[in-house]
Amino acid sequence: PLRGERVKHAREIWDCLQRLSWKRGNVKSKTFGRTSITLGTTLGAPWSIGFDTAGYNSVAVPQCLPKSDREQCARLWALLQDEALALDVKITSGQVNTNFRTGAQHHHWRADKDHQWCLSLGDFAGGEFCWQEGERCLSVSTKERWQKVDGRHLHWVQPHEPANADRFSIVLFRNTGD
């Protein structure tokens, strides 16, 4: 089994996640839900509002969030960048989710340039990260440990118990460079 990597700022990250209102995010996707927030450099439609000719927006904290959420996201983004340094990985972005829709299969074959690092926090059991490589289906727990995964493969999240418990997930990734 994969053992994962220690979370350097677990308590501080948990505090930020708890303080977010989760009323809205900046990701428009049925898979992710309306409360997903992407921090750092984001990739969107070229020339659309807030995106350059290549489709990038380098505003680290989404301006569409309420002021208190922007403050928590700025604090969270600084913590996540420090986590990436501790993991010795280069990132451009982080996605934060609450109660990610289980069983929704997806992959990021266009934008992600490398593996991702995933973490989940909360008072729950289950909720493993699953992926498919060829004919094999694999899974790993991301609870309270950073796990290196390849989200460019078809992947999904298993249900967690109790179903009404909050399960927060964070994905660190890179969508620019080689």
pLDDT digits (tens, 9 = 90+) for 121-165: 999 999 999 999 889 999 999 999 999 988 888 889 999 999 899
**Are 16 and 168 spatial neighbours (Cβ–Cβ below 8 Å)?**
no
Task: Tell me the torsion sign for CA atoms 164, 125, 171, 46.
Answer: negative
- Helix and strand numbers (H, E) in the chain are 2, 12
Q: In the structure, what pLDDT confidence band is assigned to residue 69 with cuts at 50, 70 and 90?
A: very high
| Predicted pLDDT at 128 | 94
- Residue 115 is which amino acid? H
What does the alpha-carbon distance between residue 69 and residue 67 come to, in Å, rounded to a whole number? Answer: 5
β-pairing, 116-121 vs 155-157, is unpaired
Mean pLDDT of the region 57-76: 88
